[in-house]
Amino acid sequence: MRISVQSALITLASTSACAGQGYTNESEVPLYGQSPPVYPSPVGNGTSNSKWSASYARAKELVGQMTLEEKANITRGFTGRCVGNSGAIPRLNIPPLCFADAPDGIRGQEFVSAFPAQIHLAATFSKDLMYQYGHALGKEYRGKGINVALGPVAGPLGRVARGGRNWEGLSNDPYLAGIGMGAVTRGMQDTGVISTPKHWLLNEQEFRRRPNQDVEGEALSSNVDDRTLHELYAFPFMDSLREGAGSVMCSYQRVNNSYGCQNSKLLNGILKTELGFEGFVVSDWQAQHAGVATANAGLDIVMPDGGFWGQNLTDAVNNGSVSTDRINDMATRIIATWYQLGQDQDYPEIGVYSNLQKHLAVEVQDDHADLIREIGAAGTVLVKNVNNTLPLKNPKFLTVYGYDAVVKTNPWQNPSRFGGGYEVNFGWNTLNGTMITGGGSGSSTPSYVISPFQAINERIAKNRGTIRWDFESENPYSPYVNAEACLVFINAYASESFDRTSLTDGFSDNLVNNVAANCSNTIVVVHSTGIRTVDAWIEHPNVTAVLFGLLPGQESGNSIADILYGDVAPSGKLPFTVAKNESDYGALLNSSVSFDAFPQDDFTEGVYIDYRAFDRDNIEPRYEFGFGLTYTTFNYSGLQIANTNLRVDSLPDPNISIVQGGHPQLWDVVQSINATVGNSGSVAAYEVAQLYVGIPDSPARQLRGFERIWLAAGETKTVTFDLTRRDLSIWDVVAQQWRVQEGEYQAWVGASSRDLRLNGTFSIRN
Ligand SMILES: *[C@@H]1O[C@H](CO)[C@@H](O)[C@H](O)[C@H]1NC(C)=O
Ligand SMILES: *[C@@H]1O[C@H](CO)[C@@H](O)[C@H](O)[C@H]1NC(C)=O
Ligand SMILES: *[C@@H]1O[C@H](CO)[C@@H](O)[C@H](O)[C@H]1NC(C)=O
Ligand SMILES: *[C@@H]1O[C@H](CO)[C@@H](O)[C@H](O)[C@H]1NC(C)=O
Ligand SMILES: *[C@@H]1O[C@H](CO)[C@@H](O)[C@H](O)[C@H]1NC(C)=O
Ligand SMILES: *[C@@H]1O[C@H](CO)[C@@H](O)[C@H](O)[C@H]1NC(C)=O
Ligand SMILES: *[C@@H]1O[C@H](CO)[C@@H](O)[C@H](O)[C@H]1NC(C)=O
Ligand SMILES: *[C@@H]1O[C@H](CO)[C@@H](O)[C@H](O)[C@H]1NC(C)=O
Ligand SMILES: *[C@@H]1O[C@H](CO)[C@@H](O)[C@H](O)[C@H]1NC(C)=O
Ligand SMILES: *[C@@H]1O[C@H](CO)[C@@H](O)[C@H](O)[C@H]1NC(C)=O
Ligand SMILES: *[C@@H]1O[C@H](CO)[C@@H](O)[C@H](O)[C@H]1NC(C)=O
Ligand SMILES: *[C@@H]1O[C@H](CO)[C@@H](O)[C@H](O)[C@H]1NC(C)=O
């Protein structure tokens, strides 16, 4: 049996009237958003490379020995020590696989590290740090005997400015997110841990992401046209797949009215056929809403319990509604991935424990604090610095204000969630302390936190200085005329389960303005889960420096002190656009709010989110995507654009078979562009040189290259940006493939999406 889907496809033009129309009966919802059926589910065979085919050969051999009950056992979850535990097969010595959160550190365990959140990692624009992050995190997962790490995240991508989970992912730009997804996946899997890019796909908001959540009725349906789906939302997942990701998590909400874990177009079609996925699809927790339909649509394992499977799946195979091929494929994909990552040999024992029982301490932090501190500083973005206010010059007297400067939340309130979580929130409320991660299942659980105040306090003490503070007041007493600077720490919280209601808050804005009224050198640090508007005070003449500290992880205080004192020159760049007014985000400010029984969310903006929309509408942002200052200046020169040999009719060769990640020729380097960057100031620093490309019939400019380069004062280096076929292609909805177009392509190299220092063009001919 198959889910009843209508194959009727209608064009985007007739989609205008969906949300808010009061539909109470699904058959009345306009036809837009019917997902085309794609059956049967592709059978994995390890065709991507010889390593996968060897893993498949061994997996087939093992699955061949399994009974139907055993196959139905490893495709479901059980209660156990981990967040997710697959069924074991004791008879064949197959252990249960342990699945665990979170993308920025193992959640709910002791002796683990709290890494910066992935939005913070994205702000480094450093491919090297992205890899190191994945590798260190992977070592911790492995050390705890966890088989499957639930990350990295490219969904949500960050379509909605106030989306609750945007901070878990690697920015709303698909290219930046893709580079990060690929590097983190590779780093993690190099340690033998299975990575799980999530959530596949279009899980762009929290409101009504699940059925009967917030409002009674089905979950929201994200309806997006085919081209946008490929160029924006699937794009970063391709990089993870290309690097060999062993698992993919399907999402809670519906896509074209079909649930993420039973959408055959998304799972059988795009993921397993077009992108050649060899691993297994795991459901988000409780995201399964049917038995036969999910199996046939391509779901391979259900979490956290038996869901609609277990005995039902055995029955469904026996009565023919799920084929034997399908259940064999489900089991084979799981076992093949286990072999592929080498987990059948010498994998550590599960070292995950409940806090309520006396247990062994399995310490996995290693020396990761150093990397965390480095990334914490590297992802900090300096956006204002009047007259070289920063770095501080050996300060003797500082004042520190704001709830976000200190650790305040009682760790004994909920130890497993200290550092963020559903219950203990690091919001702007004065009862809350410094924020190092966001809330929900994506939170890390720090074993300790170095607060900003602690780190600054220590530096002042060493320098025999004086420090004064007030972490409570909205209007602090500030007659310290001798203070050299007033540091104000504020934050902007967000969590899984709900979207943000504002990109700012009155308490924090008043605090900054009140301090600035009496302090001519006011330095503001904003720890934020994403966009935080600053126009309530950004032009105040006494606000002399502003930093977006984002979500830096456990070494927060050391990371920010390194920047404030100039031990590290900032190099972070904004991974999103900070608008002057919240209304500048237009329809993409808020999540879609519908109280219908079958809520529809049409992504009518297409690929025009964040800077793509600001550029199209000519809206001047406060701080544009890619922007960030440092303690020196750089000059750009010498743009060189190669003559590409690429021809419109040369690609991609249909006789070459698909491997995981898509058509292999998509990754061929087809064009290269050089630029020279020089450090014209007196401080050594990293610069992130960025390449934007104007592709015909596309947004004005899209990020298609970046390099973070170290330049001593006076030093000059040549940067090379290699462009792949995919980087220059659009998704051709008629041909159903990535294709370059005939015409002129524009290229810009600069220091942000609007600070474009060099430009040139190249052509692709027929
Ligand atoms: C929904 O509408 C269809 C067509 O109008 C009708 O046949 C069906 O009975 C309705 N279902 C419910 C539950 O009202
Ligand atoms: C959703 O529907 C649109 C419009 O019919 C279609 O272009 C797109 O391919 C569909 N996507 C999925 C995943 O079903
Ligand atoms: C799968 O791979 C095996 C071993 O390489 C091969 O014998 C078999 O024909 C392949 N099956 C399919 C359906 O491609
Ligand atoms: C199924 O998995 C559970 C949990 O790991 C295990 O206790 C049980 O023995 C397994 N059943 C079979 C038939 O192997
Ligand atoms: C089987 O399906 C029924 C509903 O069809 C459900 O109540 C049950 O929980 C399912 N799961 C298992 C593991 O049997
Ligand atoms: C086959 O079994 C499944 C699981 O119990 C059930 O949902 C389905 O309705 C059955 N189909 C037929 C045709 O009996
Ligand atoms: C910056 O410094 C210059 C030169 O000392 C001075 O004229 C100017 O007023 C200063 N600007 C601000 C905003 O303090
Ligand atoms: C943190 O602040 C939020 C408001 O943003 C408040 O609801 C919550 O109770 C505070 N948490 C604690 C532990 O004080
Ligand atoms: C701030 O300065 C204003 C005048 O500039 C003064 O009236 C007020 O008392 C000061 N506030 C504090 C808390 O020092
Ligand atoms: C700037 O701070 C000084 C105190 O140092 C104060 O006298 C002045 O009024 C402040 N400026 C503004 C615009 O608030
Ligand atoms: C870019 O620089 C590299 C290394 O210096 C050089 O090999 C290459 O030819 C240059 N490309 C162009 C287009 O000038
Ligand atoms: C290219 O650069 C030149 C020189 O800086 C500038 O005048 C021109 O406007 C730029 N063109 C584009 C399309 O950015």
User: Does residue 20 register a pLDDT over 70?
Assistant: no
Residue 5 has pLDDT above 60, yes or no: no
Q: Are residues 219 and 72 in the same domain?
A: yes
Better-predicted residue by pLDDT, 185 or 4: 185
Res 32: pLDDT: 58
- Looking at ligand 3, which residue's alpha carbon is closest to its atom 1? 45
pLDDT surpasses 70 at 465:
yes
Q: How many domains does the chain have?
A: 3
pLDDT at 25: 64
- Assess whether 171 and 242 both reside in one domain: yes
Is there an atom of ligand 10 within 6 Å of 520 CB? yes
Q: How far is the CA of 518 from the centre of ligand 9 (A)?
A: 6
Ligand 11 neighbour 720 (Cβ under 6 A): yes
Q: Is the pLDDT confidence value at 18 over 60? A: no
Domain contains 742: yes
Query: In the chain, what is the greatest distance between 2 CA atoms, to the nearest angstrom?
Result: 83
SS (HEC) of 256-307: CCEEHHHCHHHHHHHHHHHCCCCCEEEECCCCCCCCHHHHHHCCCECCCCCC
542 Cβ contact list (under 8 Å, min separation 6): 516, 517, 519, 520, 521, 522
Binding site membership of 542 for ligand 10 (Cβ less than 6 Å): yes
**Pair (204, 285) in one structural domain:** yes
At residue 409 the predicted structure's pLDDT band, cuts being 50, 70 and 90, is low
How far apart, in Å, do the first and last CA atoms of the chain sit?
47
Q: What is the CATH number of the domain that holds 671?
A: 2.60.40.10
CATH number for the domain that contains residue 520: 3.40.50.1700
Domain identity same for 279 and 152: yes
Q: Residue 15: is its pLDDT beyond 60?
A: no
Mean pLDDT score, 243-255: 98
pLDDT at res. 477 = 82
Residue with tokens 């060493």: 462
Tokens of residue 74, six digits: 């490893």
Other Cβ atoms less than 10 A from the Cβ of 755: the count is: 13
Is pLDDT of 415 > 60? no
Tens of pLDDT, residue by residue over 217-226, are 999 999 999 9
pLDDT band (50, 70, 90) for residue 259: very high
Q: What is the pLDDT of residues 304-337, one digit of tens each?
A: 999 999 999 999 999 999 999 999 999 999 999 9
Residue 425 has pLDDT above 90, yes or no: no
Report the nearest atom of ligand 12 relative to the CA of 746. Answer: 13
Atom of ligand 9 nearest to the CA of 477: 13
| Ligand number, closest to the Cα atom of 23 | 1
Percent of the chain residues topping a pLDDT of 90: 85
CA dist 101 and 150 (Å) reads 5
Beta carbons within 8 Å of 667's beta carbon, 6+ residues apart: 242, 661, 724, 725, 726
* pLDDT reported for residue 29: 61
Mutate which of 403, 414, 417, 432 for ligand 8 pocket (most atoms within 8 A of beta carbon): 432
Token pair for residue 86? Answer: 């697959």
Has residue 568 been placed in a domain? Answer: yes
Q: What is the mean pLDDT of residues 657-669?
A: 96
Distance 153 CA to ligand 2 centre (A): 23
Predicted confidence band of residue 714 (pLDDT cuts 50, 70, 90): very high
Distance 272 CA to ligand 4 centre (A): 28
Is the predicted pLDDT of residue 423 greater than 70, yes or no? no
Quick one: 266 and 397 in the same domain? no
pLDDT of residue 17: 31
The reply to whether 302 and 397 lie within a common domain is no
Q: Examine the pLDDT at 180 and tell me if it is beyond 60.
A: yes
In a domain, residue 9? The reply is no
Of 292, 321, 340, which closes a domain? 340
Both tokens assigned to 192: 């033998």
pLDDT in tens, 22-42: 666 666 665 556 899 999 999
User: What CATH number did the domain enclosing 126 receive?
Assistant: 3.20.20.300
Question: Do residues 171 and 575 touch, judged by C-beta distance below 8 A?
Answer: yes
- pLDDT given for residue 432 in this prediction: 73
**Which residue lies with its CA nearest to atom 3 of ligand 9?**
518
Which ligand does the CA of 29 lie closest to? 1
Q: Which domain holds residue 392?
A: 368-579
Average pLDDT, the chain: 92
| CA–CA–CA angle 204, 208, 213 (5° rounding) | 140
Give the atom of ligand 5 at the shortest distance from the alpha carbon of 76. 13
Looking at the fold, whether 127 and 208 belong to one and the same domain comes out as yes
pLDDT at 480: 86
**Do 241 and 321 lie in a common domain?**
yes
Instruction: Return the residue whose CA atom lies nearest to atom 1 of ligand 12.
Output: 759
Q: Does 173 qualify as catalytic in the annotation?
A: no
Which atom of ligand 10 lies at the shortest distance from residue 542's CA? 1
The closest alpha carbon to 46, from 242, 282, 336, belongs to: 336
Task: Give the mean pLDDT of 685-700.
Answer: 98
In the prediction, which pLDDT does 19 show?
34
62-93 pLDDT, tens digit per residue, is 999 999 999 999 999 999 999 999 999 999 99
**Are 569 and 636 part of one and the same domain?**
no
Is 148 within a domain?
Answer: yes
Out of 284, 300, 596, 602, pick the active-site residue: 284
**What is the pTM assigned to this prediction?**
0.94
pLDDT, greater one: 413 or 275 = 275
Does 317 lie in the same domain as 252? yes
How many other β-carbons are positioned within 10 Å of the β-carbon of residue 513? 18
Of the residues 693, 759, 761, 762, which should be mutated to test ligand 12's pocket, given the most ligand atoms within 8 Å of the CB?
759
> Is a pLDDT exceeding 60 seen at residue 14?
no
Residue 357: the pLDDT is 81
Q: Which ligand is nearest to the CA of 53?
A: 3
Claim to verify: residue 709 and residue 754 sit in the same structural domain? yes
- Relative to the alpha carbon of 760, which ligand is closest? 12
**pLDDT above 50: residue 3:** no
Find the residues whose C-beta lies inside 6 A of ligand 6: 1, 291-292, 312, 315-316, 319, 321
State which of 539, 563, 579 marks the end of a domain. Answer: 579
Residue 381 lies in a domain: yes
Residue 355: inside a domain, yes or no? Answer: no
Domain ends where: 564, 579, 594?
Answer: 579
Ligand 7 atom nearest the C-alpha of 544 is 13
- Strands annotated E in 695-729: 702-711, 716-724
Q: How many CA atoms lie within 13 A of 516 on its CB side?
A: 21
| Least confident window among 156-165, 379-388, 426-435, 635-644 | 426-435
The verdict on residue 33 lying in a domain is no
What confidence score (pLDDT) does residue 356 get?
A: 73
326 and 455 fall within a common domain: no
d(CA 299, CA 262) in angstroms, rounded, equals 7
Q: Name the residue at shortest CA distance from atom 6 of ligand 3.
A: 45
* pLDDT over 50 (residue 728): yes
Residue 481 confidence (pLDDT): 87
Structural domain contains residue 597: no
pLDDT per residue as tens digits for the range 605-647: 999 999 999 999 999 999 999 999 999 999 999 999 998 788 8
**Closest residue CA from atom 14 of ligand 10:** 517
